[in-house]
Chains A and B, each alone.
Chain A
Amino acid sequence: MINFFKRKKHPKFWKDYIEKVESSKNYNNYEAIRFVALDTETTGFDYDKDRILCIGAIALKNNKIQVNDSFEVYVKQTTFNKETIKIHGIRKNGTEVKVSEEEALIQFLEYLDDAIIVAHHTKFDITMINQALKRLKIGPLQSKLLDTNYIHKKIAPENRFKKLFSLDELCNLYNITMHDRHTASGDALLTAILFLKLTAKFKKNNILNLTELIRTNYYLS
């Protein structure tokens, strides 16, 4: 009963999102699964103090990147960190149209739908998003998660067993030309291309379905 009341208080956009994830019928058919490759730019690396500046994302379905199904949002900031501006180039009073954190999350969840999230160092981006959701008294994200780092681990030769890779390193390893590095959308696109290359290799020695891909998440543990 307590749960029931708690749920009732949740805003509609959150309930809609949960409903979409829970009732999705797409997960069993690989060709029907919508993957969303995403990246966030943040003011820094502190989960408590730092904030999301931008979320960039692009969808993949049936081994194709769908440019018409992409997402980009910039968040209005009060906190700013001069150090990270050098990396992402998003200034406090830049020219991009910015929205409030809440509005950004509403748009993002609407876009996310029942998709499977693919990112690089997924834990970081997801924690940042979950912290923001927490501030709205909702979350955490219920979407299934994948990490390009772990998929790479699964198919890479044994001698690279322990090390974690940066997106740059993997792009070099898999021969991906880097453009727009350190913009959220640019990195999301690189992650999507990396995901295509990884899954093409993955299916040679593994069954390419969601269960097997998610299994890679535990590869390091």
Chain B
Amino acid sequence: MKNTIAERILDFLKGYPPFNLIPKPTLLEIAKKVEIHYFEKDQIIFSQNDSPHEHFYIIYEGAFRLYRFAEGKKHVLDICDEGDLFGLRPLIMKENYLMGAAANEETILYGIPINLFNDIILNYPKVSQFLIASFATNTRDPFSEKHKGKLFANIQAIKKVENSFSETQAVKYTPNPITCNATTTIKEAAIIMTENVINSIVITENKKPIGIITDKDIRTKVGTGHFKITDIAEKIMSHPVFTFPEKLAVAEAQIALLKHKVSHLCITKDGTNNSELVGILAEQDLNLIQGNNPLLLIKEIKKAKDAETLKYIRFRAGDLTKGYIEQEIPIYFVTKVISEINTAITKRAIQLSIKEIGKEPPTDFTWFAVGSQGRKEQLLMTDQDNALVFENVDESEYKNVKCYFLELATKVTEKLNIVGFDYCPANIMASNPKWCLSLKEWKQQFKEWIKDPIPEKILLSIIFYDFELIYGNQELYDNMAKSVLKHIKKNQSFLGFLGKVTLDNPAPLGFFKQFLVELDGENKDSFDIKSRAIRPLTDAARIFSLYHGLQINNSIARFEKLMEVEPQNADLFESCANAFKILLQFRTLQGLTNNNTGRYVDINNLSKADRLKLKSCFKPIKNIQDSLKLRFKITQII
């Protein structure tokens, strides 16, 4: 049979080494087996350390860049263009990719199956000579005069990336810290600090730490004139101090610093503040530890120059999550850290996109996350859910302004997609003209949803009422949030409609106290932890906090605030918050173990303890649903 397409591919291949060394009939067999790929600019075909594909690649049209991360920095090793080969060496050596490859521009590639090529290497010595020579000399075409590239990076120069995961290591603190007494004067304390070149001094009493003075205290409390240098240390010291035992894991220390918003932790003999001080740990001690610490990752994100660097950092953040969960670090802090990282990535993606467009935004705007990202409850990689609001503009300018923001949003969503956040299947993204609106339009939209709560609008409300500012103008965001809360206040019956929807998901215990499992489809007989257990809680948290006009999105934070607002129901809300934490941790662990979203739990494979743990979470779900029913008179709405 005539094969016009294979012949054309052959015509192309025979123009480039090593294919020019292969006789035509053999080359035609190769051409017949080619796969043609298309890549948009910046799309990644493989990342460093990925396992090898079944094909290597030759560029038909366009260009690819090869890059490598070493010591946290990205190095672009080469730009390949038409006729250049890449991704061959790992296939021959049967090892993971030593570098990543991404489209430098729109590119069409031919993928050539390695199994076919292995025979050719054996049968055509000229081909293997060419390959050996190019691997050894780092050049793309060792037979050509100019050695322009480093396609096959020098093996000596590339050491396998070591596992730099250091979170589980114990921290290295400063032992025997300098101390003073509560009655030491500030002047004396400052002299001691200056002499010892330290930025903090611990105040002890019988060797037990009772407070700490840092450079900052002297600046803000003494420098400002609130206290005199002749006052005693006790007056300006921060107390109590946060104490930990000697074997403090790096991750725990990081979270403690984030949680308490302090710069120093005290290490004591038994870990309480009632025992002898043995050391001090400062924030900067942690930064020195090489590895994936969140502060360092965020710093790297801020400096990242492209999407593949962001992808690499996010990949390391994934390791971080795993380590945290394994160490049973409280889920609330883990979500916080990961959300901060995701937020930083989005921010950076927006900045890079603005730079790419080459024009500053025509007016103020705010990028906000909605759904679970808006609630800051993401641990695993999920879909993008985002939207954009821009300042009201004159009608004459509207079209251009919207055009700009749509272009911006498209670039940002493309970048986030490269990082690993899939496009939202429901198209809830700022790149959708429906979700890229002026302030006036958003307010109008929210108003309509509240006034006319038909089912599909309720679903949108549920997603959009968890919106969190990610980047841009705070005022725009506040303005929008306030307007939503105002309308809901005026239309309290709307909350009843929201409640109705969530009660369609009853508490997940069946008649015989069995788990309610899925009855059909791919996930038959498994328990849908997301929609049956987690969602009823997030829904309830949302409804109650909208009721009280709280501008909070995180479910745990919502429940905690509700405990304050309704002290008579504090027990109920606390039990919900606890159940939520357990469920989220459970889901994340499931997801990490099975390498999926963790949404469907195989009940039959659960240990007795896990079943009980899950079941204990269902009671609060039932209670809060009963409470919703009563409060919002939901039975009256049909």
Listed in ascending order, the chain A residues whose CB lies under 8 Å from chain B are: 56, 58, 63-68, 70, 72-74, 96-97, 175, 177, 179-180, 183, 185-186, 188-189, 192-193, 196-197, 200, 203-207
Among B32, B36, B111, chain A packs the most CB atoms within 10 A around the CB of: B36
Given A204-B414, A205-B432, A74–B2 Cβ distance below 8 Å? Answer: yes
What is the CB-to-nearest-CB distance from A36 to chain B, in angstroms, rounded to a whole number? 13
Please name all residues of chain A whose beta carbon is closer than 8 Å to the beta carbon of B425 when the two chains form the complex.
207
Total A-B contacts with CB atoms under 8 angstroms apart: 77
Extra A-B contacts (4), CB below 8 Å, given A64-B35, A70-B6: A63-B37, A67-B5, A185-B4, A189-B5
B506 to chain A, nearest CB (A): 29
Quick one: given A72-B1, A193-B108, A207-B427, are A65 and B32 in contact (CB under 8 Å)?
no
B interface list, Cβ under 8 A from A? 1-6, 8-9, 31-38, 40, 61, 106, 108, 111, 410, 413-414, 423, 425-427, 429, 431-432
A172 to chain B, nearest CB (A): 14
Contacts of A64 in B (CB 8 A): 35-37, 111
B5 x A200 contact (CB < 8 A) = no
- What 8 A-B pairs come out closest when comparing CB atoms? A65-B36, A185-B4, A196-B38, A67-B34, A64-B35, A68-B33, A207-B425, A185-B5
Are B2 and A96 neighbours in the complex by a CB distance under 8 Å?
yes
Expressed in whole angstroms, the Cα–Cα distance for A103 and B525 within the complex equals: 50
Taking CB atoms, residues of chain A closer than 8 Å to B37 are 63-65, 196
Contacts of B61 in A (CB 8 A): 177
- 7 CB contacts below 8 A, A to B, read A63-B38, A67-B6, A67-B31, A74-B2, A186-B4, A186-B8, A196-B37
B35 and A56 contact, CB distance less than 8 A: no
Do A56 and B6 touch (CB < 8 A)? no
B106 — which chain A residues lie within 8 A by C-beta?
175
Whether the pair B40, A193 counts as a contact (CB closer than 8 A) is no
CA distance in complex: A56, B7 (Å): 14
Q: How far is the CA of A68 from the CA of B413 in the complex (A)?
A: 34
A188 to B8: give the CA distance in the assembly, Å: 13
In-complex Cβ contact of B8 among A68, A96, A180 (8 A): A180
- Given contact pairs A58-B5, A200-B40, A67 touches B35 in the complex (Cβ within 8 A): yes
| B2, B31, B413: most-surrounded residue (chain A CB, <10 A) | B2
Set of chain B residues within 8 Å of A65, measured between Cβ atoms: 35-37
Beta-carbon nearest neighbor of A95 in chain B: B2
Q: Are B36 and A205 in contact (CB under 8 A)?
A: no
Q: Which residues of A contact B5 (CB under 8 A)?
A: 56, 58, 67, 70, 72, 185-186, 188-189
CA distance A63 to B4 in the complex (A): 21
Using CB atoms, name the residue of chain B closest to A177.
B61
Interchain CB contact under 8 A, B423 and A72: no
Residue numbers in B under 8 Å from A63 (CB-CB): 37-38
Tell me the complex Cα distance, A142–B564, Å.
65
CA distance A65 to B34 in the complex (A): 8
Choose from B4, B33, B427 the contact partner of A56 (Cβ within 8 Å).
B4
Question: With a CB–CB cut-off of 8 A, which chain B residues contact A204?
Answer: 410, 413-414, 423, 431
Interface pair B4/A180, CB less than 8 Å apart: yes
| A203 touching B423, Cβ below 8 Å | yes
